[in-house]
Structure 1
Amino acid sequence: MLNPPHRFGQDTSQWITVPPQGYGGIQWVVATLIDALLAAGHEVLLVGAPGSTARPGLTVSDATTFDTTRAALRTFGPDVVHDHTNGQLLPAEPDWPTVRTHHLNSVPEYRTNSVYLSHAQRRAAGSEHAPLIRLPVNPDRYTYRQEKEDFLLFLGRVSVHKGARQAAAFAQAAGLPLKLAGPAWEPDYLHGILTDFPGTAEYVGEVGGSHRTELLAAARGLLVLSQPLGGPLGDEWIEPGATVVAEAAVSGTPVIASDNGCLAEIAPHVGIALPVEHTPTGEEAAKILAGLPAPKQLRATAVERWGHHLTASTYLEVYRRAAADGTWT
């Protein structure tokens, strides 16, 4: 299992682990798949996340470069390599059967044996027949609460394309406080939200561990109002997978999303998907909140649709296909 190696914040002595200390959607996906693969009796080598905790069946490598990854793989001798790094740690023609999950909003650099997270992402990549596997969630890693507190939550990168400002506007219309949780790498953007929505928006920083799961469980609703513009590379943003949707639902928290990318496909199962250009009035926001699914229904839906054992079993079929010299684009 190849995880994209990134330093933890400004601390050059630490890497983002699996699961992550704070922000890290891909790291949560990798951790969740490993949970299910180990439970199914498989042995896993984790590359690209030094400092992660090893456990029975899981070997953690210190490799974070192209060359050290190749050496670690040769020592381990995998039946199949699952690359989550968009080729950062693996060449176009690797020495092992390979499956590549595409987590980005772009055409994969290496399209052979790619797996996509949504119909929207797969279309944007120009693929029609490659496997589509939704992002998984492990309910055992989350707190479930039926009784909610009167605040709304934004959990993710505080950026234009993630719709943090739209989340503040919705919360203000609903008359509820908003907790903004996540890295704020564009400080002017965050400052503008806090200035324009005083008394509504509160920045609580990048959260991890029990603080993160408690926020997910306690919120009255999670706002995932991704926007089509302002992506990390300045291009059109098509939300690819949205791990946080399943995380909120399995915590018993409904999702209020935009209809950007994958959100139009998954959010209606556990909440609502609104047009990206629409900002609800106070009356509309109250009606939306009143019509959201109940916590028990949300948790059951999350496990049924995105449970990690189900997702891993689907990946195992794809692994076997790749190991048998199968290829696709």
Structure 2
Amino acid sequence: MKVAMVIPPYRYGADPSQWITVPPQGYGGIQWVVATLMDGLLEAGCEILLLGAPGSPVQDGVTVSDTVETADIHAVIEAFGPDIVHDHSNTAALPANNHRPTVSTHHLNSVPELQTNGIYLSRAQRTAAGSASAPVIRLPVNPARCQFQEVKDDYLLFLGRVSAHKGVREAAAFARAVGVPLTVAGPAWEKDYLDALLADFPHTVRYVGEVGGSARTRLIAHARAQLVLSQPWGGPFGGRWIEPGATVVSEAAASGTPVIATDNGCLPEIVPGVGTVLPTGREITPGDAKAVLASLPTAQVVRETAVDRWGHHTIARQYLAVYKRAVSGEVWT
């Protein structure tokens, strides 16, 4: 199939000529998802037009468009002539005059702008969006993009946006309780939150900023566990935060790194088998924390489970089946 992949164009750093690419240079959840999905689709024989990520690496079967203006995207899509348009931008970059068969993966914690032919990352996200029957397709992972490490180093990892709703303070409290250092990696756009974190956990937290490339995969692979202690409050758009898909879970698991998560949003759906789920708001004692860390599955089990559930070939097949439904004229909400 010919697939037009539309993602939201975001600037990278202070240079106005640079865009977050696919895969991303550092932080970029949607960009990682699209990169991995494209791996599976390309291996299935698809041809892809990538919109919203100028400067992405050139690869066989992919046309990377430099167009970022919504008004111009329509012409680029029409020139490509796709069988299906796959929107990852919540319609932000999708032309209003697009009449091609279209599906939309919702990556946010909100009701999508376009609910017709939506695809959700979890049942929790789908329910919050008000849908009962739209497809749920998990986030993919390509083990070739991960580094597997069976023998771990003595640190725990938080990887993601350094914000209250992502549970960084809760991760630091867990690490202090268990007596293991916590490496925090990701963008810190809320300086006061980061400053308070470092002041309150000076002997526990090591902040390394955004990481990308081999440094990122190595950091994930060598951690004893990845902490995904998402909280139902403090989200970036206000209101209740419901963790939609959690790319970090599949990436960590494919690297052989088990996950310790809360029961927020998608996490109780995906973490069992690759880690442990803790009730949100539970106070963790040193004894509790040590028992949790000791009970985690082995690196080999975690990796095998991740690849079986979320391998890029498996997820690509699920998307191709949904693409065919849309191309045939089927409509769902």
TM-score (norm 1): 0.99
* 1:230–1:237 contact (8 Å) kept in structure 2: yes
The answer as to 2:217 corresponding to 1:213 is yes
Post-superposition CA distance 1:125-165 (Å, at most 9, x none): 00001000000000000100000000000000000000011
**How far is the alpha carbon of 1:54 from its aligned partner?**
1.7
Q: Identify the match of residue 156 of structure 2 among 152, 155, 169.
A: 152
Aligned partners of 2:292 and 2:14: how far apart in 1? 40
Equivalent position amino acid for 1:245 in 2: V
Checking the alignment, whether the CA contact within 8 Å between 1:169 and 1:279 is kept in structure 2 is no
Alpha-carbon separation, structure 2, partners of 1:167 and 1:132: 28
1:23 matched residue in structure 2:
27
> Are 2:174 and 1:170 aligned?
yes
Backbone CA RMSD of aligned residues: 0.8
> Counterpart of 2:287 in structure 1: which amino acid?
E
- Does 1:307 find its partner at 2:311? yes
3-state SS of paired residue (1:21): coil
Aligned residues of 2:73 and 2:95 also touching (Cα < 8 A): no
Matching residue of 1:278? 282
Q: Does 1:181 align with 2:149?
A: no
Q: Residue type of the partner of 2:208?
A: V
1:199 aligns with 2:203: yes
Q: Which residue of 1 aligns with 2:260?
A: 256
Q: What residue is the counterpart of 1:116 in the other structure?
A: 120
Q: CA deviation at 1:91?
A: 4.1
> Which residue number in structure 2 is paired with residue 73 of structure 1?
77
Equivalent pair of 2:74/2:97 in contact (CA under 8 Å): no
1:107 counterpart letter in structure 2: V
Change in CA separation of 1:279 and 1:92 when aligned onto 2, cut-off 3 Å: farther
Q: Name the counterpart of 2:102.
A: 98
Give, in whole Å, the separation in 2 of the partners of 1:285 and 1:10.
Answer: 40
Specify the SS of the correspondent of 2:37: helix
2:194 aligned to which of 190, 207, 221: 190
Gaps spanning 5+ residues in structure 1: where?
Answer: none
The letter of the residue matching 1:104 is L
Cα drift, residue 241 of structure 1: 0.1
Q: Which of 3, 14, 33 is matched with 2:37 structurally?
A: 33
Cα distance in 1 for residues equivalent to 2:56 and 2:46 = 18
1:38-89 superposed Cα distances (whole Å, 9 cap, x missing partner): 1111100000000001211111001112112111101101000000000011
Residue 140 of structure 1 corresponds to: 144
1:233-266, CA deviations, whole angstroms, 9 ceiling, x for partnerless residues? 1221000000110000000000000110000111
Q: Which residue does the alignment assign to 2:8?
A: 4
Q: Give the counterpart letter for 1:62 in structure 2.
A: D
Runs of 4+ in structure 1 off by over 2 angstroms are 91-94
TM-superposed CA distance for 1:279, in Å, is: 2.6
Cα deviation, residue 93, structure 1: 6.2
What percent identity do the matched residue pairs reach? 63
Query: Counterpart of 2:320 in 1: which secondary structure?
Result: helix
Q: State the one-letter code of the partner of 1:181.
A: A
Work out the number of aligned pairs and report it.
329
Q: 1:323 aligns with which of 298, 322, 327?
A: 327
Matched, 1:129 2:133: yes
Offset at residue 198 of structure 1 (A):
1.0
> What secondary structure is seen at the aligned counterpart in 2 of 1:7?
coil
Contact 1:92 1:110 in 2 (8 A): no
2-side partners of 1:221 and 1:250: how far apart?
12
